[in-house]
Amino acid sequence: MYSLSVNDFFMVAHSLKGKEFGQAQNLHGATFEITTEYKVKKLNNLGIVIDVVVASEILKKVIKQFNYKNLDDLKEFQNLNTSMEVLCEYIHKQISGLLLGNFEGSLKVTIKENPLAQCSFEDKI
Q: What are the respective helix, strand and coil percentages of the chain, to the nearest 5?
A: 35, 35, 30
pLDDT for res 63: 98
CA–CA separation, 45 vs 42, rounded Å?
9
Q: Report the CATH number at residue 109.
A: 3.30.479.10
pLDDT for res 23: 95
Number of domains in the chain: 1
Instruction: State mean pLDDT over 58-71.
Output: 97
Count of other CB atoms within 10 angstroms of residue 14: 21
Mean of the per-residue pLDDT values for the chain? 96
pLDDT for res 2: 98
pLDDT for res 101: 84
**pTM score, two decimals?**
0.95
Give the domain extent around 43: 2-18+27-124
25 confidence band (pLDDT: 50, 70, 90): very high
pLDDT for res 43: 97
pLDDT for res 102: 87
CA–CA separation, 24 vs 26, rounded Å?
5
Instruction: State mean pLDDT over 36-61.
Output: 97
pLDDT for res 7: 98
